[in-house]
Amino acid sequence: MTFRLVWTLVIQNFKTQRHIIIPFILVISTLFGIEFILLSLNMNTSLHKHSDVIPVFISIGNFFMCLFGLLFILYANRFIMRRRQKELAMNMILGMEKKHFRLMLFIEGIYQYIIIGCLSIIGGYLFGALTYMSLNRILGYTHVSLKKYPFDINAMRYTLLMLAIMMLFLFIVNNIKITFQSPIKLIQQQHPTEKQWSKPLLYILLIVGIITVVDSYMIALKDTLILVSLRNIFIALVLVTIGTYCLFISLSVLVIDWLQKIPSIYYRPKYFFTISGLRSRMNSNSIGLASLTMLCTFLIVTLGMSVATYRSVDQRANHLMPTQYRIELSGDVHHSTTSKHKVRQLENEIKRHADVDAFREYTSGSVAVTYKKGSFVKRDNENSPLDLNSVYLIVMNQKDYNTINHTHLRLKHNEMGILANHFMFQKLDNIKLMNQTFKTNQLKGDHFSFPVPGAVTLVTHNVNQQRQLIHYYQTTADINSYIAFNLKTKDTQSIDHIESQLMKQYDIQIDKKDELNKEMFDIYGGLIFVGTIVSLVLMIGTFTMMYYKNIAEGYEDRKNYRIMRQVGLEEERIKSVINDQVVIIFTLPIIVSMIHVLCASKMIYTLLGILDVNNIKLFLTTYIGVLVFVMIIYALMYVMTSRVYYRLIHR
């Protein structure tokens, strides 16, 4: 066979299969365009100067992008090769050898590599500029210009190298499949027999599915500490995944069986053809629909967490440090004369160099305890590592709390002020501390605590009770003193100039709100960036699955469409039956995924507490908005992909 003939076959195949090949090229181009963007951002010197944290998050995002991207590409490649089985079988019967088909695949791989390479690099650079500016905006670097985002040759080289490796891998995989195939096997695989699940097995899967899904929902809805929630989310994820697949496989067949046994429903002209046709559809699509459901679930959860984090990024630094400066020094200013003298000297020194509004002095101590249903219990070993039930208590006294929050709190002797982000602590009416029961006074305000995930701030009646509580739980715990203040002027050079001198002279730690803000924006911005990348890749994967599933349905329904025409059904009835079946199939995943997200919302809210997202209104509005957005995107994907489906069945 001459090269010209092989090239002619390649061109002919592209024309006849363009509705399959073009989306394949576009999907890979988009994924490798994202890869180019991530590589160019990771190699950007401007970003490295601004932050050491962001490149780490970009690398994490790149890992997830490569992982999910490879899975979606393999799925699309598998679908394309299955559609080409008939073509390969016919050519082999007509005398084409397998080596000729391998040559065709190689030539196709070359032109696809060239097209994908050009699209991914050009598109990646153009959208990379937009991504670069957006990322800098999230991080608070509004002064950055596009001049600091040059075209990166190394990023292009790595992208093209990875693309070449991926295309070579697909070529090897496809060759292995061809090697062990014969024309008869290929034709048989083109028209596979419908796989029938036995009734006992279906009922077993149904029971397993119900147990695992209900169990996962119970885990997600349980009140737990943040560290426990981190562990439970993986357990719930495994259970809900198993349950989703089991329920789709079993219920998709059993529900139709049950409907067929109800004559008043099954034999009505409106439902008869829809129900009978759904059986074979659900039998062959149950696993794919379960996969689509989990994809939509991950997309909603990831996108929702990213948006919620972005919306709360401004309040995090304010919550941890409302004043411009905070000085930390060892010793209790309320009990130690030395500490009190040091504080006075320090304040006088600062006053000589800067115009300060007021000094707010307070003390605080932190101890690790074990939490058990309303009781804070002393740990068996103070020096042992923290376990899942460990909680940090940040202990203040009433006077200091009023000073820093400008309040007039008056606690009784048997009352304890409590300030926590976690709703599990917010609903406590009584707590047990030091083997005594205290009534709780739920407080709102800034507790000037360190960024410890899930920490609980306790406000005691007086200084003595504060010291007693801290040393009860940890005998070696220290109580530190803090000075918080703002400058009356915007110029901070007066403090910055003497900062290192003060730290060395008084052995103190000076925290600045601007620096904390930068650190928070770096961490939050990195998490938002990773979440956005993962959400985008999941969206691409969802579109890929929906598109190729619609094409598969279209090829299958061409035969069913002709049969219904031959038995005398009207055109409108045929369209109505097919449309009802397709709509049912493609609305199931988004409905089930919304139920999953609804049941997981409590656990998601708990986990967001790590990032200090503790505004329930913000959380609810975010997830409602994300659900509406994903539903609109899903509907648009369905409309776009269904057009190809209807073209196929009328061909």
pLDDT in tens, 12-28: 878 878 888 888 999 99
Task: Identify whether residues 257 and 363 lie together within a single domain.
Answer: no
Contact (CB, 8 A) for 495 and 389: no
Q: Does residue 138 fall inside a structural domain?
A: yes
Task: Identify whether residues 353 and 419 lie together within a single domain.
Answer: yes
Point out the domain boundary residue: 437, 460, 491. Answer: 491
State phi, psi for 17 to the nearest 5 degrees: -110, 25
pLDDT of residue 581: 75
Q: End-to-end distance of the chain based on CA atoms, in angstroms?
A: 32
Point out the domain boundary residue: 192, 214, 232. Answer: 192
Measure the CA–CA gap between 190 and 84, rounded to whole angstroms. 9
Task: Identify whether residues 382 and 310 lie together within a single domain.
Answer: no
Domain that holds residue 16: 1-192
Task: Identify whether residues 64 and 4 lie together within a single domain.
Answer: yes
Task: Identify whether residues 143 and 233 lie together within a single domain.
Answer: no
CB neighbours of residue 189 within 10 Å = 13
Displacement of CA 286 from its chain's centroid (Å) = 25
Point out the domain boundary residue: 143, 161, 192. Answer: 192
Task: Identify whether residues 593 and 485 lie together within a single domain.
Answer: no
Measure the CA–CA gap between 575 and 562, rounded to whole angstroms. 12
pLDDT of residue 439: 93
pLDDT of residue 118: 94
Total structural domains in the chain? 3
Task: Identify whether residues 408 and 475 lie together within a single domain.
Answer: yes
Q: Does residue 506 fall inside a structural domain?
A: no
Q: Burial-class residue 466 by CB neighbours within 10 Å (0-12, 13-18, 19+).
A: buried
Measure the CA–CA gap between 449 and 470, rounded to whole angstroms. 15
Task: Identify whether residues 58 and 198 lie together within a single domain.
Answer: no
Angle between helices 199-221 and 226-260 (to 10 degrees): 150
CB neighbours of residue 343 within 10 Å = 22
Contact (CB, 8 A) for 393 and 367: yes
pLDDT of residue 419: 87
Task: Identify whether residues 213 and 180 lie together within a single domain.
Answer: no
Strands 430-433 and 436-442: antiparallel
Q: What is the pTM of this model?
A: 0.81
Diameter of the chain measured on Cα atoms: 101
Task: Identify whether residues 391 and 281 lie together within a single domain.
Answer: no
Task: Identify whether residues 283 and 380 lie together within a single domain.
Answer: no
Contact (CB, 8 A) for 437 and 431: yes
State phi, psi for 374 to the nearest 5 degrees: 85, -5
Structure tokens at 162: 């990875």
Contact (CB, 8 A) for 467 and 480: no
CA atoms within 13 A on the CB side of 159: 34
Q: Does residue 149 fall inside a structural domain?
A: yes
CB neighbours of residue 339 within 10 Å = 19
Task: Identify whether residues 23 and 138 lie together within a single domain.
Answer: yes
Distances in whole angstroms, Cα of residue 446 to Cα of each of 317, 478, 510: 11, 22, 19
pLDDT along the chain (651 residues), means of 10: 74 82 91 91 80 81 87 87 74 71 85 93 89 78 75 91 94 83 61 66 91 93 82 90 91 81 74 70 78 88 87 73 86 86 89 87 88 85 75 89 86 89 83 90 68 79 90 84 87 82 87 82 80 86 83 73 69 72 82 92 84 82 91 85 74 62
